[in-house]
Each structure stands twice: as C-alpha cells, then as structure tokens.
C-alpha cells in the first residue's frame, strides 16, 4: 500500500505526495506552490527564511533551511526535499495538530469603482507611493497580523472605513495551559487571537518564542498576575505576554508574544486598504477583497512581474488556486534596476506581523499598478 501524507496541509498536493513516494524532489531553482507549503512548515517549526518568507521559490535561503532540517533529523545536510525529508516534515506537522491555513482574505468586501474622470498616472503613482510609506511605517512600528482586522488597535475605531473597529482584548486568563494576557482578538472570520509576532527568527519581535504550560517562567508569571487586580498587571519583561492562538500548520500554539494593546492589527488585504485610505486622507473608502485587487475592477492595471521595481505596485500570490498574500512593492522606480532587487511590505502571517521581504518575481502570481481609475476622478 502506498504511503500517504497525513497533514491536511500537504496531502492534497500531488508534488509533495510524489516527494514522499520518492518519485520527485524539491530542489534549487523550483518555483511551485509545493515549495511555499514546505517553506511555511519550516518557518513554523523555527527554521529561518527571513529574507523572502514563504514565496514558493526554492532559492539559497530555502536550501539552507532544508539542509539544517535534514541535518536535524539525521540525514545528510543537503538542500533537497526527498522522501525521508518529506516524511519527517509531515510527521512533525501532523503530530502537532492540523488545522485550516490562515486565510486573511475577505470574499464579501467588494466595491466596484465608477469610471474615473480626468486624472493623471503621475497622481496615481504619488498616492500609491504615499500608501507604501504608510505600510513601511507599520512594519517599522511592529504592527501585528490578525485575521479580519483592518488597522484598529484593541478597543479603537481607527481601522479602515469598512472595518474601523472589531479588535478587542481577549478576556484575561491565568491558566498556564490556556493563558490570555494582553492578547488581541477579532471576531471577523473568526474568532481569531493575535499571535503577537512571536517568531523572532523570521522577522517577529526579538525575544518572542513558543512556550509550554510546564515552563517555570510562565507558571510563576501567571501566578503573580492571579494575585493582583487586572489593572495592576504588567507584561513579562516589559513587552511579552502569553496567549494560545489557533492558526498556521501547527494548529493550537502556546507562545510568548508581544503585548497587543498599543499595536495596530491588520490582515493582508486590511493593510493594503488601510494604507491606501491613508494616502487619500480617507476622502473615500477603499474596501476591496483580495480577489478584486487582482482585477481591473480595483482601478489597477496589470504589469509584468519582471518590470523594474516601482514603489506602490501591488503584488498578489496564489496558492492552490486562491489568493493568499497581497503586499506593496518597494522600489526606486529606476528602469535600470532589476526587478529582483526590490522589496515587498505586507502583513504576512500571525507569527511575524507586518514585515519587509525581498522581492523575487517568480515568488508572486500577479502585479498590479494603481491607475487614475483608483482615484475616482476626484484629484
């Protein structure tokens, strides 16, 4: 009987099944959805893919992570995902608990634009550039990823026009098996609990880490809180608070994340919509879902992925036929600069929040450029 992959995140992928059976491998130079799934699994297990993240391109960074994983499981430290590598990776993911992949898209948010009146491409580019500056400021400020969130802080109303609020603080719990201290929550597409950028190795907050209910520091910290009224609670070492969240390939995880109370929270499309609303100074709402951003109805034009990097272009990535990531291209608009020297700013996933990654054209599915139509003829 043919062995099959156990994790729901891998089992439907024929290339990964072929890797398990020994009839195929993942190796340098490949650009596949299967590579993105392996990259995501490695990141969640603590292996480093800090430059590009789960972009689906098997480059040097991915090869180094695979080699370290192979060495850790007792194989030769080579940069190939073969049968034994795939089996071990599947075992590690399935053993934790398989759940649904984090999906930050919102299929209900669509607002087709009316025809634009007179405007200029230069004006559209200027507003797109301003939106990128807003996104970079959120990355620098350590904004958190939270599915369903559109830019609000817990208890605030400063999110997008469509989702100005909806982010709250999870009711406090001091049970070491299921704690909740200063952790944001969103009911849209949820409920979801914020992971607090705990994955330090891949772009999260320094000092963030997975935890266990038997950890002495966790038990002592929670016991101390339990003896105090909530208004006197403070984060662990000024920044950290424990929480259990559901998401990613490992399912339920107990982590030391960052205190959520002062942080804006976004999902992928929420960041794009919020930043563009900031660029136009909220003169009108931008409420597209990720699928609409991939079409002309969004007021954007299709651009070749390999064009020189231009600040403000939108990038979209699809996995298994559905768009999963969206972000802004960061570049200097120099026609002499190769595309792969650009960067992407995006709300990537719960474990790292809003991050800046290097841009690899083969790691993305579409590139769209804001046009005068996006401005609705108002400027």
pLDDT value at position 336? 65
**Looking only at Cα atoms, what is the longest distance across the chain?**
66
Cα–Cα separations (whole angstroms), residue 166 to 78, 148, 160, 186, 265: 46, 8, 11, 6, 10
Taken in order 325, 327, 332, 333, the sign of the CA dihedral is positive
Both tokens of residue 303?
């651009």
Measured distance CA(239)–CA(228) in Å, rounded: 19
Output DSSP code: residue 236. B
pLDDT value at position 115? 38
- Encode pLDDT of 181-239 as tens digits: 999 999 998 899 999 999 999 999 999 999 999 999 999 999 999 999 999 999 999 99
**What is the CATH number that goes with domain 101-170+183-196+260-379?**
3.90.1720
Superfamily of domain 8-96 in CATH is PGBD-like superfamily/PGBD (1.10.101.10)
pLDDT value at position 311? 93
Contact predicate 45/92, CB 8 Å: yes
Percentage of residues of the chain with pLDDT beyond 90: 78
Measured distance CA(100)–CA(320) in Å, rounded: 14
- Encode pLDDT of 34-80 as tens digits: 999 999 999 999 999 999 999 999 999 999 999 999 999 999 999 99
pLDDT value at position 119? 41
Q: Where are the domains of the chain?
A: 8-96, 101-170+183-196+260-379
CB neighbour list of residue 92: distance below 8 Å, 6 or more residues apart:
41, 45
Tens of each residue's pLDDT in the chain, 379 residues: 467 898 888 988 999 999 999 999 999 999 999 999 999 999 999 999 999 999 999 999 999 999 999 999 999 999 999 999 999 999 998 876 543 333 333 333 333 333 333 344 568 888 999 999 999 999 999 999 999 999 999 999 999 998 999 999 999 999 999 999 999 999 998 899 999 999 999 999 999 999 999 999 999 999 999 999 999 999 999 999 999 998 878 889 999 999 999 999 999 999 999 999 999 887 788 999 999 999 999 999 999 999 988 999 999 999 989 999 999 999 866 666 666 778 999 999 999 999 999 999 999 999 999 998 886 544 3
Measured distance CA(36)–CA(360) in Å, rounded: 13
pLDDT value at position 332? 67
Measured distance CA(372)–CA(377) in Å, rounded: 7
Give the chain's count of helices (H) and strands (E).
9, 14
């Amino acid at each position: 009987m043919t062995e099959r992959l156990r994790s729901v995140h891998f089992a439907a992928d024929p290339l990964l099944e072929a890797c398990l059976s020994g009839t195929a491998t993942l190796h340098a130079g490949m650009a596949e959805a299967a590579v993105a799934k392996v990259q995501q699994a490695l990141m969640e297990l603590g292996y480093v893919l800090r430059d590009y993240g789960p972009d689906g391109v098997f480059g040097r960074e991915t090869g180094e992570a695979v080699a370290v994983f192979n060495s850790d499981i007792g194989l030769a430290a080579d940069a190939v995902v073969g049968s034994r590598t795939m089996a071990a990776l599947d075992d590690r993911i399935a053993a934790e608990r398989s759940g649904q992949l984090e999906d930050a898209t919102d299929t209900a948010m669509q607002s087709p634009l009316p025809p634009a009146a007179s405007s200029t491409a230069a004006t559209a580019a200027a507003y797109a550039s301003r939106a990128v500056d807003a996104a970079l400021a959120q990355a620098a400020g350590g904004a958190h990823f939270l599915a369903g969130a559109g830019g609000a802080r817990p208890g605030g109303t400063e999110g997008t026009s469509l989702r100005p609020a909806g982010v709250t603080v999870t009711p406090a719990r001091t049970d070491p098996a299921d704690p909740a201290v200063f952790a944001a929550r969103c009911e849209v597409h949820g409920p979801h609990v914020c992971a607090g950028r705990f994955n330090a190795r891949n772009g999260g907050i320094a000092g963030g880490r997975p935890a266990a209910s038997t950890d002495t520091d966790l038990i002592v910290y929670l016991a101390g809180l339990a003896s105090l009224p909530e208004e006197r609670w403070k984060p662990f070492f000024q920044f950290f608070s424990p929480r259990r969240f559901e998401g990613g390939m490992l399912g339920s995880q107990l982590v030391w994340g960052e205190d959520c109370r002062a942080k804006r929270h976004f999902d992928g499309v929420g960041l794009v919509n919020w930043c563009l609303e900031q660029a136009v100074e909220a003169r009108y709402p931008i409420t597209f879902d990720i699928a609409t951003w991939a079409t002309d109805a969004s007021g954007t034009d299709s651009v070749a992925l390999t064009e020189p990097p231009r600040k403000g272009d939108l990038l979209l990535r699809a996995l298994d036929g559905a768009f999963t990531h969206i972000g802004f291209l960061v570049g200097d608009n120099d026609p002499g600069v190769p595309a792969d020297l650009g960067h992407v700013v995006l709300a990537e996933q719960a474990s790292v929040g809003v991050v800046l990654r290097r841009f690899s054209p083969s790691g993305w599915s579409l590139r769209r450029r804001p046009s005068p139509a996006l401005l609705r003829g108002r400027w």
